[in-house]
Amino acid sequence: MSSTAFQFNERPASSLQPRPGESTLIEVTDYTVAGWKPPANPEDRSRWYCARLEEGQILFFAGTPYKLPADDRDCLIGVRQTSVAYHKNVSYRPREGRIHGLDRASADADRLRAIMGAYSRHVTAFAADFLRPYARGWKLDFASFRSLEERGRDLPLKQRNDLLHTDAFPTRPTNGNRILRVFTNLNPSEPRVWLTGEPFDVIAPRLAPDAGLLACAAKARSSLRPLSRLPGRLGSALGLPVPDRSPYDSFMLGFHDYLKANGAFQDSPAKSRCEFPPNSTWIVFTDSVPHAVLSGRLALEHTYIISEADLMLPEKSPRQVLEKLAGTSLRN
């Protein structure tokens, strides 16, 4: 495997420019926990960063660019040894203020809920200021605390995090809206190590046909299509847990599994190794940048669903890339 290890603190400014067709890291130096550094023009810089994300770049902060009290950080680091050790990760639903993945009887539950609530508010305030165009129409999805060591986890293929994949949520279809994630490595001494691959608009022309795009397009065009969506639509309208998947969502879910199972894609040399150091934060559209986590424990993550209407480069969005390849709408 040929791979690139990024040295965040030693990279000269010139190397921060993305290379065409590659997912690379752009280190953000004009935004800190105190906000935009003068003389930055927040509106222009914000739009520029949004466009880089949509091209498939990862925005990287050497520190934590939002408020994260030392007490909360220490508590999260300590809590992993007790009640969360039996769960994949702890998730927090900001719109309901509810926490999942923790023993009900856990003495840590109330404290963890309060910490995750504060984390969600602070990281969201930061993201709303740093990525201003997105905050208008975004939907707050879940936040998570990832306490377990990723190296050597024994998981079924579809759930393996150490295989390159693009994200799609089985229970929360986006219908073309985008999955944006903010990660922070809380580990005080070890990096979180990722592999990343070429972005969606580069790999889709090569792989989407083999992953079933044409069959998906044929279903989208079928006159029976409205009927096949009835159960999902009815279920959603009644608040039942039946996902109402567009053809786009069905394809993206299948593509996630297809990439993980594709040995040639996993072995392809077109990937980079990224080591995210302690306390660093990074932002990425995980529905378009193939990623895998090789090692690391103790990370915070928040997901935002970005409205298609707010994108700077909609032609790079997976839905538009796929529709161009398929020659049909994948919305209905």
Which residues of the shown chain bind ligand SIN in the complex (CB under 6 A)?
146, 161, 167, 183, 192, 286, 291, 293, 299
Task: Give whichever of 256 and 319 is closer to ligand SIN, judged by the CB atom.
Answer: 256
Alpha helix positions (H), the chain: 42-55, 70-79, 109-130, 132-135, 200-207, 213-221, 225-228, 230-237, 247-261, 263-267, 318-326
Please choose, from the candidates 56, 81, 202, 225, the residue with its C-alpha nearest in 3D space to the C-alpha of residue 148.
81
Q: 61 or 330, CB closer to ligand SIN? A: 61
| Minimum distance of ligand SIN from residue 192's CB (angstroms) | 6
Enumerate long-range contacts of 106-115, CB under 8 Å, 24 or more apart: 106/82, 107/83, 108/79, 108/82, 108/83, 108/84, 109/83, 111/75, 111/79, 112/75, 112/76, 112/79, 112/145, 115/72, 115/75, 115/76
Of 211 and 293, the one with the shorter C-beta distance to ligand SIN is: 293
Minimum CB–partner distance for residue 286 and Fe ion (Å) = 5
Residues 119-158 that bind Fe ion (CB under 5 A): none
Tell me the closest approach of the beta carbon of residue 299 to ligand SIN, in angstroms.
6
Residue 293 binding partner per list Fe ion, ligand SIN, none, with a CB distance cut-off of 5 to 8 Å that depends on partner kind: ligand SIN
Please choose, out of 16-24, 137-145, 164-172, 268-276, the segment that lies near Fe ion by the rule CB under 5 A: 164-172
The count of chain residues that interact with Fe ion, using the rule CB under 5 A, is 1
Judged by CB, which is closer to ligand SIN: 27, or 162? 162
Q: What is the DSSP string of 61-130?
A: ESS--S---HHHHHHHHHHTTTGGGGSS-EEEETTTTEEESS-TT-TTHHHHHHHHHHHHHHHHHHHHHH
CB of 166 within 8 A of CB of 252?
Answer: yes
Please state the closest distance from residue 92 (CB atom) to ligand SIN, in A.
15
CB of 297 to ligand SIN, least distance (A): 10
Q: Are 77 and 186 in contact, with CB atoms under 8 Å apart?
A: yes
- Name the residue among 17, 24, 6 with its Cα closest to residue 197: 24
Give me Rg for the CA atoms of the chain: 20
Q: Smallest gap, in angstroms, from Cβ of residue 102 to ligand SIN?
A: 18
Task: Choose from Fe ion, ligand SIN, none: what does 52 bind? Cβ within 5-8 Å by kind.
Answer: none
Nearest residue to ligand SIN on Cβ basis: 293
Of the candidate spans 69-77, 163-171, 174-182, 198-206, the one that interacts with Fe ion by CB under 5 A turns out to be 163-171
Of positions 54, 150, 167, 301, contacts Fe ion by CB under 5 A? 167
Least Cβ distance, residue 215 to ligand SIN (angstroms): 26
Our CB check for ligand SIN shows the closer of 14 and 189 to be 189
Instruction: Determine phi and psi for 47, rounding to 5 degrees.
Output: -65, -40
**Does 301 engage in binding with Fe ion (CB under 5 A)?**
no
DSSP state for residue 299 in the 8-state scheme: E
Write out the two tokens for 232: 């999902």
Which does residue 146 touch among ligand SIN, Fe ion, none (CB within 5 to 8 A, set by kind)? Answer: ligand SIN
Applying CB under 5 A, the residues found at the interface with Fe ion are 167
